[in-house]
Amino acid sequence: MKFNTKVIHGGQHHDPSTGAVMPPVYQTSTFVQTSPGQPLNPDYEYSRAANPTRSALENALASIENGTRGLAFSSGLAATDCVLRSFKAGDEIIAMDDLYGGTYRMFTRIYKDSGIKFHFVDMNDIEKFKSLINENTKLVWVETPTNPLMKLADIQEIAKITKAKKILFAVDNTFATPYLQKPLDLGADIVMHSATKYLGGHSDVIAGALIVKDEALGEQLHFQQFATGATLGPMDSFLVLRGIKTLHLRVERHCENGGKVVEFLNNHPKVKTVYYPGLPSHPYHEIAKKQMSGFGGMVSFTFVSGKKEDAIDFLEKVKVFTLAESLGGVESLANHPALMTHASIPEEKRKEIGITDDLVRLSVGIEDAEDLIEDLKQALA
């Protein structure tokens, strides 16, 4: 199947008992057994281990990322946490220097006393990255594009190194979505999504996902999920699965609108720098062209004045864009990373990687582009 067919049919089956086109919401915690230890259906005995609605979503996740196993979690951070439970004291993890604030917080605060050592590096400095690898390195974690500076990492080049060294390689594919980028095909071992964002697509669910190609790794991660309990409920699974069925249509429009918004911002006298991988001036534009089929709907920009007050004034004046955290929904959102999504990163670290106080992040939705540009125009005036 090609992608547009996969999001609707990939890994999916009509309900065998009723013929329902969409999987029913199996709102049950447990399943009948015919004899002790012998469930009526061998795949289902307790919903923490497996639930038919969640299984339908997980099969769809595996299909659209070209993996063998998908796992659905109660949040993107729960999915990330499941991966980290694979490691022990003395292990080392190399991570991208520009990360979602919640991921950085988990790495540096939740796991800081576990004995796992974290290194943060610009993944485009391949020599620096290589110099951090040693016999204790067990995982490389990247976002591409990153949140909020739209940095990119060359998945294929990093995968060559991790495979040679037998190191696990995980890619947060939330911003790109499997419609624009397929990390497993490029050599990654694990793909993570905050399914809250583009996969769900309607700002009505919190969810996370892991997808892998190696079946043994998938079984290990499933055991860790089952043993710790961060599973996605059946109703939320249904909502994400429904969102996936229109992913291709929505992301096409996000990309189309994103390009128009970027063109407007890039020519506005009050805007200093626009961060968007589709711009030829973007430092990683060539990587984006190589590994992505489109450039997405996430845009960040700074002001000529460099003043935080100008960013706040702009964010208080938008009318079609909504000032709120999160991204990837059908509606356009605007966010101040330093005060909102990345506030958990220390100020000195934010400045080091380029998250300035005048930085604004936009999640460009699927409204009429003309209305979005008019809103930006009046808010910048």
Q: Please choose, from the candidates 48, 70, 60, the residue with its C-alpha nearest in 3D space to the C-alpha of residue 7.
A: 60
Active site residue 172: yes
The β-bridge partners of 46 are 30
Active site residue 100: yes
Task: For residue 157, give the amino acid letter.
Answer: E
- In order, the DSSP letters of 103-166 are HHHIIIIISTTTT-EEEEE-TT-HHHHHHT--TTEEEEEEESS-TTT-----HHHHHHHHHHHT
- For residue 241 the two structure tokens come to 């699965």
Burial (Cβ within 10 Å: 0-12, 13-18, ≥19) of residue 125: exposed
Task: Give me the catalytic one of 26, 44, 100, 284.
Answer: 100
β pairing state of 117-121 and 137-143 = unpaired
To 5 degrees, how large is the angle CA 206–CA 209–CA 213? 175
Helix, strand and coil content of the chain, in percent to the nearest 5, comes to 35, 20, 45
Task: Give me the catalytic one of 98, 154, 172, 375.
Answer: 172
Task: Give me the catalytic one of 54, 182, 197, 350.
Answer: 197
Q: Please choose, from the candidates 217, 196, 111, the residue with its C-alpha nearest in 3D space to the C-alpha of residue 147.
A: 196
CB contact at 8 A, 82 and 76: no
Active site residue 48: yes
How far is the C-alpha of 134 from the C-alpha of 138, rounded, in Å? 9
The β-bridge partners of 72 are 209
How far is the C-alpha of 190 from the C-alpha of 96, rounded, in Å? 15
How many residues make up the chain in this entry? 381
The β-bridge partners of 190 are 170, 212
| Number of neighbouring beta carbons within 10 Å of residue 180 | 22
- Residue 47 main-chain phi, psi, to 5 deg: -70, -15
Active site residues: 48, 100, 172, 197
